[in-house]
Amino acid sequence: MSFVIRRSVSTLVPPKVANPQGLGAAKDAIRMARIVKFYEKLPKGPAPKREATGLLGRYQAKYFGENPSAAPIWHAIFGIMAVGYSMEYYFHLRHHKNNAH
């Protein structure tokens, strides 16, 4: 078995952090104390809700948050219509300005 295959297989198996043989040994006891200290410092409970910031963040919180609605679909439809109308209006006026007598 090549080194690459052994390396990829070894990442699938979790390390033996708290095996019974390692608890009595001095070097592993220090290691276990560091691990316990690390896990004690981790926050407990659910993560606090983050407040939406920025224009897009507030829009997503309002329309896609806990109470989603169909308003973004209507916003997209009317936005596309407004852009299309403004383009048609601009190109129509430009065409008539060049042919005016």
- For residues 83 and 80, what is the distance between their CA atoms, to the nearest angstrom? 5
Please report which confidence band the pLDDT of residue 72 belongs to, taking 50, 70 and 90 as the band edges. Answer: very high
Say whether pLDDT at 85 is over 60. yes
Distance CA 79, CA 77 (A): 5
Write out pLDDT tens, residues 35-46.
889 989 888 888
pLDDT score at 82 = 97
User: How many residues are present in the chain?
Assistant: 101
